[in-house]
Amino acid sequence: MNPTTDRFFMNDITIAAFIGAMLDCSYTDFVFNGFSDNLGNSTGGSTSHKNGMHGDLRYLRKDKSGKNIHLSLESETGDPCGWKGLDEKRQNIFIDALFKYGWKDMLSWKYNHKLLNHSKHYEGHHHHLHIQIFTPILKKIK
């Protein structure tokens, strides 16, 4: 997690689902921009990051550096790079895993006439993926 964020909180079900999605992919270059604060509140100007269920993530790069991507740009290198530096295949695999574990809506950015899986174009999301509408399927174990 990014230690400079004040949105480091994920509730217990969210963290379990998130770890499941990460393990399904086995990537090592995830960068998290934040979920909620330790009281479950949304901070930093965002209003949808409540109860540690909705969060922001950097897009995955081809060079696996964890550096910034701005899908509104075209370049393949740099910090930020543009959509040509996006590892679209790995990103979509991770988004599919997030969807499988309960996130049913993603806010992203339309780039090169494309959208990432399960996402819709949303203003201001050229530099991060927002995951929301967390509705996991839970089994009660007796």
In this model, does residue 108 exceed pLDDT 90? Answer: yes
pLDDT mean over 125-134: 93
Tokens of 60: 């995955």
Give the separation between CA 138 and CA 107, rounded to whole angstroms.
Answer: 24
pLDDT mean over 22-29: 95
pLDDT mean over 42-58: 71
| All domains in the chain, ordered by first residue | 12-134 (3.30.1380)
- pLDDT at position 7 is 57
